[in-house]
């Protein structure tokens, strides 16, 4: 049984089998509505399995709420990894969901979402209702309620602070929404959480972000550590830390990986940016992937099977800022990782903005330079061939005007990138994969991948069966070629 559902229709028999088996792999991929109780649950809810006649399935919690169902307070169906559908699909509904999760509607309204996607508000709402069972406002409302429940059960923040941090415009609106969706007051919902959250001190908050095991933590952490740039990022041997440029003010994030969650601590955070900050960490670490579906598909290929068996749950690297990703990928072309770090660190030291807090013990305190700063001052800071410097500064300027965010269509972004001087197939593929999370990119003209294929006795024509997971196949090939470095990294 595949663990990625057909987004066009929820097959009842398949969903009910997952429900009867309490299969945690499906948590976050759909919700179960129970007609006799008026509640909706995650597939793995420990309650007695309802009769099939009393069950219906919905893709989103917002769709269940729109039909009058309340969230189960036993299984907390919103406390799950996000749906992998928003990563797998590239249609308008999925792109809209990625931006809603980033808080675009809370910050800029429905009009802001429409502008980012390039469609009218009416068309987007019509598509979302047809595809997901709820409109833009309902989906954003449910997202705010989910953020509020996370804060209520994970922190000791006051009820009022939770309301505004989750994106509600008033305490009354917050109370009414929680009561309607959960049939409980915020205080009662906090009490039902089952454990006290860690203390929040000032503008510091610690959360546990869930993901679906398995997770190849060594590969993800190796990638973060190998590319960490002084002043912007830091790897101390157990945790990764970096600054974030967020809508209201900068923040820093410190992450460490557990068996089924990431312990995430934000500092200097304006709580209005919490949703965006969480979403960007989830995308950076690819936390909403369905690793079982990926491994099942790639593991059927005889070339990849040994790699998948050795390192299940591999993830693709994400992005917290589109322009930063574009500039860093361009600066890393055709040079070693170490050399790229040196050049990028110099750029950050010279042009990076102070984040607003002092540097202590080498902790990150600078923001990646703005496109304007790179365009204006890059020629005096960057080193290397004049043509490369011109390409990077021009790309930074153009990137600041491009749609370089998770809601952009991957094929359109690739076409836009290839119009830039100095951006070829390899760079465009890398940027698209990281910014949009496209799961089906086999990077063109990549020497590491070519060598891995040759080492495994495969050729370019042998990769067609890897669709739609070629991005993950690329990671397995990279890991195969970098085995010694990764092994040394994880060795005690």
SS (H, E, C) 114-171: HHHHCCCHHHHHHHHHHHHCCCHHHHHHHHHHHHHHHHHHHCCCCHHHHHHHCCCCCH
Angstrom distance (rounded) from CA 325 to CA 328: 5
Classify 231 in phi/psi space as left (phi over 0), alpha (psi -120 to 50) or beta. left
- For the chain, list the domains and their CATH numbers: 12-71 (3.40.10.10), 90-191 (1.10.10.60), 278-492 (1.10.340.30)
Q: CB neighbours of 415 closer than 8 A, spacing ≥ 6?
A: none
Per the CB < 8 A criterion, the answer to whether 147 and 105 are in contact is no
Q: Which residues are catalytically annotated?
A: 41, 446
What pTM, to 2 d.p., does this model score?
Answer: 0.86
* Paired residues of 33 in beta bridges: 40, 56
Are the CB atoms for 145 and 139 separated by under 8 Å?
no
Per-residue pLDDT of the chain (492 residues; tens, 9 = 90+): 344 444 444 789 889 988 998 877 788 889 999 999 999 999 989 899 999 999 999 988 888 988 889 988 788 887 777 777 777 676 888 899 889 888 899 889 999 999 999 999 999 999 998 888 889 999 999 888 888 888 887 788 889 989 988 888 899 999 999 888 888 899 988 887 654 445 454 568 899 898 999 999 999 999 999 999 999 999 999 999 999 999 999 999 999 999 999 999 999 998 888 889 999 999 999 999 999 999 999 999 999 999 999 999 999 999 999 999 999 999 998 889 999 999 999 999 999 999 999 888 889 999 999 999 999 999 999 998 999 999 999 999 998 788 888 888 889 999 999 999 999 999 999 999 999 999 999 887 888 999 999 999 887 667 778 988 999 999 999 999 999 899 888 765
Residue showing tokens 């994106």:
167
């Amino acid at each position: 049984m595949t663990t990625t559902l057909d987004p066009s229709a929820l097959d009842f028999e398949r969903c009910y089998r997952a429900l009867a088996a309490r299969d945690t792999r499906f948590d976050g991929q759909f919700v179960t509505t129970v007609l006799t109780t008026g509640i909706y649950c995650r597939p793995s809810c420990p309650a007695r399995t309802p009769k099939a006649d009393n069950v219906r399935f919905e893709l989103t919690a917002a769709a269940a709420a729109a039909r009058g169902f309340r969230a189960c307070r036993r299984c907390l169906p919103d406390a799950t990894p996000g749906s992998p559908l928003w990563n797998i699909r590239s249609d308008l509904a999925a792109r809209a969901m990625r931006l809603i999760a980033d808080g675009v509607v809370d910050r800029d309204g429905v009009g802001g979402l429409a502008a980012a996607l390039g469609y009218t508000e009416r068309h987007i709402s019509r598509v979302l209702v047809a595809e997901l069972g709820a409109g833009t406002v309902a989906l954003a409302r449910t997202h705010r309620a989910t953020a509020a429940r996370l804060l209520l059960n994970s922190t000791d923040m006051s009820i009022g602070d939770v309301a505004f941090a989750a994106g509600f415009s008033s305490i009354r609106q917050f109370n009414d929404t929680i009561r309607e969706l959960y049939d409980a007051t915020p205080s009662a919902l906090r009490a039902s959480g089952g454990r006290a959250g860690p203390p929040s001190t000032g503008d510091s908050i610690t959360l546990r972000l869930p993901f679906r095991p398995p997770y190849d933590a060594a590969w993800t952490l190796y990638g973060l550590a190998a590319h960490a740039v002084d002043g912007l990022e830091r790897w101390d041997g157990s945790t990764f830390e970096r600054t974030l440029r967020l809508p209201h003010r900068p923040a820093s994030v410190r992450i460490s990986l557990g068996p089924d969650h990431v312990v995430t601590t934000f500092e200097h955070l304006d709580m209005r940016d919490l949703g965006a900050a969480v979403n960007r960490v989830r995308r950076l670490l690819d936390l909403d992937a369905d690793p079982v579906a990926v491994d099942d598909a790639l593991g059927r290929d005889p070339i990849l099977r040994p790699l998948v068996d050795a390192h299940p749950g591999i993830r693709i690297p994400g992005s917290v800022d589109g322009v930063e990703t574009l500039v860093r990928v361009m600066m890393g072309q055709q040079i070693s990782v170490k050399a790229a770090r040196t050049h990028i660190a110099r750029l950050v030291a010279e042009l990076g903005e102070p984040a607003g807090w002092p540097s202590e013990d080498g902790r990150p305190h600078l923001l990646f330079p703005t496109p304007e700063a790179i365009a204006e001052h890059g020629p005096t800071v960057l080193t290397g061939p004049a043509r490369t410097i011109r390409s990077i500064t021009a790309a930074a300027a153009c990137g600041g005007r491009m749609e370089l965010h998770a809601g952009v269509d991957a094929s359109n972004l690739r076409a836009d990138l290839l119009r830039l001087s100095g951006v070829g197939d390899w760079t465009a593929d890398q940027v698209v994969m990281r910014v949009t999370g496209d799961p089906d990119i086999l990077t063109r003209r990549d020497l590491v991948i070519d060598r891995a294929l040759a080492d495994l006795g495969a050729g370019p024509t042998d990769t067609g069966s890897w669709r739609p997971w070629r991005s993950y196949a690329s990671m397995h090939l990279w890991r195969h070629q970098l085995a010694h470095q990764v092994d040394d990294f994880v060795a005690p």
